């Protein structure tokens, strides 16, 4: 997906107060009122109350979020309905979103005002991302795509029950009523999906018919013109990609039918059963337990005596986004992840008293000058509440120390105690998540429709229809050939007594560059982290020295020899060869390598990750690398959605970028190219160890 700068709406007000777009010359809603239109055209038009009744999940997709009136009306109606679906997902695409200030200044119907206030409070920075905002303890999820509908619609991964088409008038805003848009809707439509729109234009009706919808006119009401309703009635059922056709959806059961924890506890055996067994209680595993809590029950198995003692066991670490020329997948992934991390960390600090701060972060820039930094931001129209380019003087003011280079300032970034964050996630999962410590998982066994999770003796620890490997590298003992190119990287952090540093050199916020320094935490300044490809668990004096030198450089201190690192911590992080995490459903071909006796169904296509067949109910979050604090929450939300078959909070090409199948696809394409060169038959599956091919 090619990202485009997000330019805020230009909204003016008509004499009677009706908001109007200065760009399109059209009004956002009829003069009769936004709420009245939302109820009459969209809520009634799609028969929401009757259709979401008693369901586990209901998914709405809207074109044109505008001022959010339709979302607010839907949320209010859902709240007021005792027989509402357990979860409501509302996906909306908006090219020119209002700023937070605009949103807060819109006059609202009294019934919507409190919800509108909450929406304005939670409004994200205007970046080209799919922003996830959870309301009502996660029961309501708003997925907001900022950008043009023709770029975003093909990127949405969801099964939609009801469409709201709410562009401006087709004559003024043809892009919102294009035939390709209706075709893209058909790809997303659930079997009984419906469409509602206020427009009765011929182009709309013909477009919907052409995409497989049965179309009818309905009276507009209150003396208004006709509106359009449609129902999905395709001549053939579109095939879903194997990645989406949920490998198993153990927790997508209808409301009330979800079994309570534990599902079944065989007497005497000590084995447990759950919807999802999570292997590993680091940031990834705990974030997943939290993300699944809104949907079902999980059991976390951890080999250590406590949670977050592995890579996630540092005293503190930082999180922030990135800026890359071209805004490719890395930049988009880390931006989405960092924005989600900011929300998660704020929540952990506010609710659970976890140590940390979302007060911003500076990344010193020595490669390019300020003018180039600014032009990079201008080209992408990245907003100042995501990142800004500061000269050394402005950076020094923010940092509270003398900074000698320009810097990127990420105002929604900061630092946190990862152990506290992991604990807070697990606590928030509450009774939905069980935890077993000192539980070393050695292997998996496929029995019927379940996975048995076994210890080193082959004894069954737990049984579940789904297992998520959140154990750092996604491998289990005796897996044979590593199924993906993930490497273990040693890292050392150093602790320096803050009182040994000049008070004028103590930063107010994290400073990153070559390495990083955190502001003093309980009298200690943490600096790091080194990287090496060995697994020496001991603190190394030369690494302490390197961290001290980095600290001196970042804080502008001339005499590093006077500073002593007293303690430190050694940990490891797992990194993939393309520096992106591995998140998603495990391909059947890889499961066959990992699990003895598992017979994989043949895969029809390997050329793109989304077409690769999956092992039922086997998932992974691995290789969070040196950005696990920043990316655990996002990775967990992606995986929870995949497990539950819910709309994905990431666009399709980001799912490709982190998909565990990407290594197979890469290998396949390379083999195909080699075969083509050697004139051999195309279409054969890739062969041989995948990890070896990538130099892991």
Ligand X SMILES: Cc1cc2nc3c(=O)[nH]c(=O)nc-3n(C[C@H](O)[C@H](O)[C@H](O)COP(=O)(O)OP(=O)(O)OC[C@H]3O[C@@H](n4cnc5c(N)ncnc54)[C@H](O)[C@@H]3O)c2cc1C
Ligand Y SMILES: C[S@@+](CC[C@H](N)C(=O)[O-])C[C@H]1O[C@@H](n2cnc3c(N)ncnc32)[C@H](O)[C@@H]1O
Where on the chain is the footprint of ligand Y (CB under 6 A)? 9, 28, 62, 64-70, 93-96, 148-149, 166-168, 173, 175-176
Report the residue number whose CB is nearest to ligand Y.
Answer: 66
Among residues 572 and 592, whose Cβ is nearest to ligand X?
A: 572
Among residues 310 and 645, whose Cβ is nearest to ligand X?
A: 310
Q: Which does 279 bind (CB under 5 to 8 A by kind): ligand X, ligand Y, none?
A: ligand X
User: CA angle, 552 as apex, 550 and 554 as ends, to 5°?
Assistant: 65
Taking the complex as a whole, the smallest distance from the CB of residue 305 to ligand X amounts, in Å, to 10
Q: Which does 625 bind (CB under 5 to 8 A by kind): ligand X, ligand Y, none?
A: ligand X
CB 218 within 8 A of CB 270: no
In the numeric block, which tokens belong to residue 561?
């020899």
Among residues 519 and 647, whose Cβ is nearest to ligand Y?
A: 647
Cα separations in angstroms, 411 against 303, 342, 510, 603, 683: 37, 10, 11, 45, 49
Taking the complex as a whole, the smallest distance from the CB of residue 27 to ligand Y amounts, in Å, to 7
Taking the complex as a whole, the smallest distance from the CB of residue 626 to ligand X amounts, in Å, to 5
Taking the complex as a whole, the smallest distance from the CB of residue 524 to ligand X amounts, in Å, to 15
3-state SS, one letter per residue, for 573-608: EEEECCCCCEEEEEEHHHHHHHCCCCCCCCCCCCCC
Among residues 282 and 616, whose Cβ is nearest to ligand X?
A: 282
Taking the complex as a whole, the smallest distance from the CB of residue 219 to ligand Y amounts, in Å, to 21
Q: Which does 571 bind (CB under 5 to 8 A by kind): ligand X, ligand Y, none?
A: ligand X
Taking the complex as a whole, the smallest distance from the CB of residue 68 to ligand Y amounts, in Å, to 6
Taking the complex as a whole, the smallest distance from the CB of residue 471 to ligand X amounts, in Å, to 3
Among residues 147 and 628, whose Cβ is nearest to ligand Y?
A: 147
Of 193, 196, 190, residue with least CA distance to 158? 190
Q: Which does 317 bind (CB under 5 to 8 A by kind): ligand Y, ligand X, none?
A: ligand X
The DSSP output letter for 468 is E
CB 178 within 8 A of CB 211: no
Among residues 302 and 651, whose Cβ is nearest to ligand X?
A: 302
Of 522, 519, 525, residue with least CA distance to 493? 525
Phi, psi of 203 (to 5 degrees): -60, -30
Taking the complex as a whole, the smallest distance from the CB of residue 344 to ligand X amounts, in Å, to 12
Q: Which does 311 bind (CB under 5 to 8 A by kind): ligand Y, ligand X, none?
A: ligand X
Q: Which does 173 bind (CB under 5 to 8 A by kind): ligand Y, ligand X, none?
A: ligand Y
Among residues 317 and 483, whose Cβ is nearest to ligand X?
A: 317
Three-state DSSP class for 621?
strand
Q: How far is CA 195 from the centre of its chain?
A: 27
Taking the complex as a whole, the smallest distance from the CB of residue 630 to ligand X amounts, in Å, to 4
Taking the complex as a whole, the smallest distance from the CB of residue 575 to ligand X amounts, in Å, to 9
What gap in Å lies between CA 260 and CA 296, rounded to an integer? 9
Instruction: Give me the DSSP letters along 502-554.
Output: -GGG--SS-EEESEEEPPPBTTEEEEE---BSS---S--HHHHHHHHHHHHHH
Beta strands in 330-465 (DSSP E): 356-357, 361-364, 388-390, 407-410, 414-416, 433-436, 443-447, 450-454, 460-464
β-pairing verdict for 57-63 and 160-165: parallel
Q: Which does 175 bind (CB under 5 to 8 A by kind): ligand X, ligand Y, none?
A: ligand Y
Q: Which does 281 bind (CB under 5 to 8 A by kind): ligand X, ligand Y, none?
A: ligand X
Q: Which does 529 bind (CB under 5 to 8 A by kind): ligand Y, ligand X, none?
A: ligand X
Q: How far is CA 558 from the centre of its chain?
A: 42
Among residues 175 and 381, whose Cβ is nearest to ligand Y?
A: 175
Residues 6+ apart with CB under 8 A from 511: 361, 362, 363, 364, 399, 401, 403, 517, 554, 555
Residue with tokens 């090619």: 2
Among residues 86 and 290, whose Cβ is nearest to ligand X?
A: 290
Among residues 445 and 605, whose Cβ is nearest to ligand X?
A: 445
Q: Which does 149 bind (CB under 5 to 8 A by kind): ligand X, ligand Y, none?
A: ligand Y
What gap in Å lies between CA 39 and CA 643, rounded to an integer? 33
Taking the complex as a whole, the smallest distance from the CB of residue 434 to ligand X amounts, in Å, to 14
Among residues 161 and 543, whose Cβ is nearest to ligand X?
A: 543
In the numeric block, which tokens belong to residue 342?
């900011």
Q: Which does 74 bind (CB under 5 to 8 A by kind): ligand X, ligand Y, none?
A: none
Sites of contact with ligand X (CB under 6 A): 279-285, 301-304, 309-312, 314, 317-319, 418, 439-441, 470-472, 476, 491, 493, 528-529, 571-573, 624-630
What gap in Å lies between CA 90 and CA 307, rounded to an integer? 34
């Amino acid at each position: 997906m090619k990202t485009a700068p997000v330019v805020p709406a230009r909204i003016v007000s008509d004499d009677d107060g009706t908001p109007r777009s200065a760009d399109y010359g059209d009004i956002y809603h009829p003069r009769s009122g936004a709420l009245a239109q939302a109820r009459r055209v969209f809520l009634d038009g799609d028969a929401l109350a009757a259709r979401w009744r008693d369901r586990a999940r209901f998914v709405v997709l809207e074109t044109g979020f505008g001022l959010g009136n339709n979302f607010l009306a839907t949320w209010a109606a859902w709240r007021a309905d005792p027989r509402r679906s357990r979860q409501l997902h509302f996906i909306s695409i908006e090219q020119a979103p209002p700023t937070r200030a605009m949103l807060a200044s819109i006059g609202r119907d009294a019934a919507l005002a409190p919800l509108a206030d909450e929406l304005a409070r939670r409004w994200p920075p205007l970046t080209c991302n799919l922003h996830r905002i959870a309301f009502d303890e996660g029961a309501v999820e708003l997925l907001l795509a900022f950008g043009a509908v023709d770029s975003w619609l093909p990127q949405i991964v969801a099964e939609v029950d009801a469409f709201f088409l709410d562009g401006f008038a087709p004559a003024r805003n043809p892009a919102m009523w294009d035939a390709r848009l209706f075709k893209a809707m058909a790809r997303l439509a659930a079997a009984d999906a419906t469409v509602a729109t206020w427009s009765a234009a011929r182009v709309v009706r013909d477009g919907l018919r052409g995409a497989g919808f049965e179309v009818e006119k309905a009276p507009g009401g209150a003396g208004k013109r006709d509106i359009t309703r449609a129902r999905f009635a395709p001549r053939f059922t579109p095939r879903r990609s194997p990645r989406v056709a949920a490998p198993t959806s153990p927790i997508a059961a209808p409301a009330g039918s979800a079994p309570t924890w534990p599902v079944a506890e065989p007497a005497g055996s000590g084995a447990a059963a759950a919807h999802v067994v999570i292997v590993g209680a680091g940031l990834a595993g705990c974030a997943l337990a939290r993300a699944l809590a809104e949907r079902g029950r999980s059991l976390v198995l951890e080999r250590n005596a406590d949670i977050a003692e592995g890579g996630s066991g540092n005293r503190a670490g930082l999180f922030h986004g990135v800026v890359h020329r071209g805004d490719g997948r890395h930049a988009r992934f880390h931006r989405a992840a960092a924005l989600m991390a900011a929300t998660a960390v704020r929540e952990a600090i506010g609710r659970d008293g976890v140590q940390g701060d979302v007060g911003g972060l500076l990344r010193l820039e020595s490669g390019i000058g300020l003018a180039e930094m600014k032009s990079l931001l201008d080209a992408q129209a990245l907003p100042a509440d995501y990142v800004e380019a500061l000269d050394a003087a402005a950076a020094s003011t923010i940092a509270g120390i003398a900074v000698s280079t320009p810097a990127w300032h990420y105002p929604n970034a900061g630092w946190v105690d990862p152990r506290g964050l992991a604990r807070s996630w697990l606590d928030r999962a509450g009774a939905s998540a069980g935890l077993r410590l000192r539980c070393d998982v050695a292997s998996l066994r496929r029995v019927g429709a379940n996975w048995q999770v076994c210890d080193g003796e082959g004894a069954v620890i737990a049984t579940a229809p789904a297992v998520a490997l959140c154990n750092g590298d996604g491998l289990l003992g005796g897996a044979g050939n590593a199924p993906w190119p993930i490497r273990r990287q040693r890292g050392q952090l150093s602790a320096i007594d803050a009182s040994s540093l000049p008070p004028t050199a103590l930063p107010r916020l994290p400073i990153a560059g070559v390495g990083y320094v955190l502001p003093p935490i309980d009298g200690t300044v943490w600096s790091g982290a080194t990287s090496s490809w060995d697994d020496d668990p001991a603190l190394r004096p030369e690494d302490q020295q390197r961290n001290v030198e980095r600290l001196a450089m970042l804080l502008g201190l001339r005499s590093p020899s006077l500073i002593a690192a007293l303690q430190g911590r050694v940990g490891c992080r797992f990194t993939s060869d393309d520096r992106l995490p591995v998140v998603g459903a495990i391909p059947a071909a890889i499961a066959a390598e990992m699990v003895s006796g598992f017979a994989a169904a043949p895969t029809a296509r390997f050329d793109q990750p989304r077409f690769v067949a999956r092992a039922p109910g086997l998932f992974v979050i691995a290789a969070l690398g040196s950005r696990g604090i920043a990316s655990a929450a996002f990775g967990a939300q992606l995986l929870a959605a995949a497990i539950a078959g819910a709309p994905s909070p990431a666009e399709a090409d980001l799912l490709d970028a982190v998909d565990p199948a990407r290594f197979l696809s890469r290998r396949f394409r390379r083999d195909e190219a080699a075969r083509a060169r050697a004139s051999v038959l195309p279409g054969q599956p890739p062969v041989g160890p995948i990890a070896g091919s990538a130099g892991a």
